[in-house]
Amino acid sequence: MDFNSTVKGSLLEGFYPAGWDMEKIDSLMQCSPEDAVAVQPHWNGEFTPVECENIYDFNTYMGHEIAIQIKNAREKGEKLIFILPVGPMGMYRWAVFFLRSWNVKCDHLYCFNMDEWSDSDGVTLPQDSSAAFRFAMEQALYDPLGELTVPPSQRNFATLENLPLYASKIAALKAEGAKQILVFGIGRMCHIAFWEPQFAAEFSSVDEWKVQTHRIGAKLHPLTIEQNAVTSFKSRTTLVPCRANTIGPGIFLQSDYIIGGCDGVLGRGMQWQGMSFHMTLKYGPDMWIPSSFMPTLPGKLFYLKELAGPLSPDCN
């Protein structure tokens, strides 16, 4: 059954981003697991997908990659910029484990949370709210590091006041020789941070799109809201904010190294991230699919084996 003919006249008509080639997207998923992660012409020569058998391996491997980058920079006496997500999260426990095991102090880190829930004016949740990304980072990373932790003055959160300063702060650090590392997950709609695909409609060229550093009170796609209802809000859509403050490609595409993670497997044969994973790896760079630029950067993308497919329909 053809997707376009199915959507025509339905409630989904106009729902997906205008720049999405749905026939191409569907063709990308009709492949073997081996072909799903095969090297593509547009990939950076130092980009590598890393298969993980299960969520335990995923969290450990990704946490180790974060920790080893921190350790190596410490040994070289270098400052390190980290752009950090809240999702995935399990890797932070292992990053803390390795850093504490190696006794690596983290005062050479300058951390920038990539996004935060907000209202239409960019006002964020109270920092002590259990749904706030700042709260999550303090609970998962900063507090568990104890005496080794990142100094509070070097932790940046995507507030109305601070997010517009990210670009200048990062530029100043890079002028001092700091390296920028992006840690990220990939959204159902292929966003990086909360930079959504429909934003592409506002720009006349990819070059104009690429220089956007941030957005205050960004409107989130309905599927982004539903993804978070499932993954973070115990299915309670009514609690999920419809907007967020977020960095843009003018920051995340300036990274020297990336550490990505795709862990969107729900169990019993169910998942939400397979399509996004395939689009990221194989679609080719396109501003309508923000995550499609990730393979053009050096680094690693850790993924759960099931996401590579086969992505064949199955009733569960």
Note the maximum CA span of the chain. 61
Mean pLDDT in consecutive groups of 10 residues from the start of the chain, 316 residues: 82 94 96 97 98 98 98 98 97 98 98 98 94 97 98 98 98 98 98 98 98 98 98 96 98 98 96 98 98 98 98 86
Task: Say what the pLDDT of residue 4 is.
Answer: 79
Task: Say what the pLDDT of residue 28 is.
Answer: 96
Task: Say what the pLDDT of residue 314 is.
Answer: 85
Task: Say what the pLDDT of residue 301 is.
Answer: 99
Mapping DSSP to helix (H, G, I), strand (E, B) and coil, where does residue 35 land? helix
The pTM is what? 0.97
Q: Which tokens in the block code for residue 285?
A: 């760079």
Task: Say what the pLDDT of residue 230 is.
Answer: 97
pLDDT in tens, 174-229: 999 999 999 999 999 999 999 999 999 999 999 999 999 999 999 999 999 999 99
What span, in angstroms and rounded, lies between the C-alpha atoms of 220 and 195?
8
- What are the b/e assignments for 92-102, b being 16+ CB within 10 Å? bebbbebbeee
Task: Say what the pLDDT of residue 140 is.
Answer: 98
The neighbour count for residue 125, using CB atoms within 10 Å, is 17
Domain ranges of the chain: 45-306
45-306 topology per CATH: Rossmann fold (3.40.50)
Contact (Cβ atoms closer than 8 angstroms) between residue 256 and residue 213: no
